[in-house]
């Protein structure tokens, strides 16, 4: 038998509530030439029984079951066993839309210079939101500076990429971000501009302790990107930047100072595409403007005078709403 085109890697740990939907979404893909590597990472619930039930009916499923060794170990184990030309990620609590593989394969085959292809995603469960990740490589590289860029469960990548680069256990909870930062300068990234994965948000996803670990490691990795740009932030500036990254509310003038410094430093280092950086800074600045309490002409005047205003690209209607809200005509308007 010929080797499969795609190797799907899905680690599973205590996911009995969700894993059946995840498995069905893969088996129902319109592109059918794949092997499905399901790694049962020491589950203590009914996950393995559910997996075995589907494996008995579909020989594309290959089960690896053992004691718990963690997500990063499981991902790297799956990579070593994979036989496909491409590797697709999948999480046990998410849902891939039926056309996901077909569209990603078609894109990668048409764009042979692209090594990794993610997609837009739609969250569901605790909240619903469409996350439109940047599409082009230069824009993704800029977004990585702000801990954004690729939705990990949505990616499909060349096996040759993973033959050279695997996940780093020292960055557990941010292992994907660590991999993207370490490879973005040598490989080409892209995102397919459609929602091809539904990303479940639920209370069992991550503990408070794990969330704190994730933030700490993400911040460490972001510092690597800042260093490449040439940003020598003070401790205070670093805290402000991380607040911006985490979408916390930041005083307008303070945020402006940080964002201008990033633009200025990149003008010297030329690490990021300047046009792409300016556009992302514009979107970020506009988000911060809206997050601030817009209750008086001072904010309005400051925005009009800001050197970052020229990078803001918004519709005329949004602009008019913003102006009216600032002068008090539409205080209740969202």
Per-residue pLDDT reduced to its tens digit, 31-52: 999 999 999 999 999 999 999 9
User: Do the beta carbons of residue 237 and residue 258 sit within 8 Å?
Assistant: yes
Instruction: Quickly list H helices, 132-174.
Output: 137-145, 159-164
Axis-axis angle for helices 47-55, 19-27 (nearest 10): 20
Axis-axis angle for helices 235-245, 252-269 (nearest 10): 100
207 vs 7: CA distance, rounded Å: 30
Q: Domain ranges for the chain, please list them.
A: 6-201, 232-326
Question: What is the reported pLDDT for 231?
Answer: 95
Count of CB atoms situated within 10 Å of the CB of 247: 12
Cα distances (angstroms) measured from residue 230 to each of 43, 90, 223, 298: 45, 35, 10, 32
187 vs 194: CA distance, rounded Å: 22
**How high does pLDDT run on average in the chain?**
92
Q: Which residue has the higher pLDDT, 252 or 162?
A: 162
pLDDT digits (tens, 9 = 90+) for 61-115: 999 999 999 999 999 999 999 999 999 999 999 999 999 999 999 999 999 999 9
- pLDDT tier at 220 (50, 70, 90 boundaries)? very high
Mean pLDDT throughout 144-159? 96
For the cut 60, the answer to whether the pLDDT of residue 296 exceeds it is no
User: Do the beta carbons of residue 132 and residue 32 sit within 8 Å?
Assistant: no
| 3-state SS assignment for residue 219 | helix
Using CB atoms within 10 Å of the CB of residue 315, give its burial: 0 to 12 exposed, 13 to 18 middle, 19+ buried: exposed
CA–chain centroid gap for 124, Å, is: 16
Question: What is the reported pLDDT for 174?
Answer: 94
CA angle 163, 205, 180 (to 5 degrees): 30
Axis-axis angle for helices 208-229, 175-183 (nearest 10): 10
pLDDT digits (tens, 9 = 90+) for 183-204: 999 999 999 999 999 999 987 7
6-201 to CATH, choices 3.90.550.10, 3.40.50.10360, 2.40.30.10, 1.10.10.60 = 3.90.550.10
Would you give the DSSP letter of residue 309?
Answer: G
Question: What is the reported pLDDT for 26?
Answer: 98
Using CB atoms within 10 Å of the CB of residue 155, give its burial: 0 to 12 exposed, 13 to 18 middle, 19+ buried: buried
């Amino acid at each position: 038998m010929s080797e499969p085109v795609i190797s799907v890697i899905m680690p599973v740990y205590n996911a009995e509530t969700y894993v059946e939907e995840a498995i069905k979404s893969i088996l129902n893909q319109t592109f059918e030439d794949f092997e499905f590597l399901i790694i049962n990472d020491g589950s203590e619930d009914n996950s393995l029984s559910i997996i075995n039930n589907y494996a008995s009916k579909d020989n594309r499923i290959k089960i690896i079951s053992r004691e718990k060794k963690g997500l990063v170990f499981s991902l790297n184990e799956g990579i070593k066993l994979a036989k496909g030309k491409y590797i697709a990620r999948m999480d046990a609590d998410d849902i891939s839309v039926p056309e996901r593989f077909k569209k990603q394969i078609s894109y990668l085959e048409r764009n042979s210079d692209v090594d990794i292809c993610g997609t837009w995603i739609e969250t569901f469960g605790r909240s619903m939101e469409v996350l439109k990740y940047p599409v082009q490589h230069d824009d993704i590289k800029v977004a990585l500076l702000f801990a954004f860029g690729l939705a990990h469960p949505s990616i499909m990548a060349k096996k040759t990429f993973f033959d050279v680069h695997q996940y780093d256990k020292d960055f557990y909870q941010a292992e994907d971000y660590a991999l993207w930062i370490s490879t973005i300068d040598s490989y080409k990234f892209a995102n397919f501009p459609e929602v091809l994965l539904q990303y479940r948000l639920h209370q069992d996803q991550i503990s408070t302790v794990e969330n704190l670990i994730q933030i700490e490691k993400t911040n460490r990795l972001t510092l690597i990107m800042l260093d490449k740009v040439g940003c020598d932030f003070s401790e205070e500036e670093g805290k402000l930047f991380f607040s911006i990254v985490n979408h916390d509310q930041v005083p307008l003038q303070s945020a402006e100072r940080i964002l201008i410094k990033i633009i200025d430093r990149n003008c010297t280092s030329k690490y990021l595409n300047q046009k792409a950086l300016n556009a992302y800074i514009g979107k970020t600045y506009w988000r911060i403007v809206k997050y601030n309490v817009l209750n008086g002409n001072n904010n309005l005047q400051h925005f009009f005078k800001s050197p970052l205003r020229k990078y803001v690209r918004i519709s005329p209607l949004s602009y008019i709403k913003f102006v009216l809200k600032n002068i008090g005509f539409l205080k209740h308007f969202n």
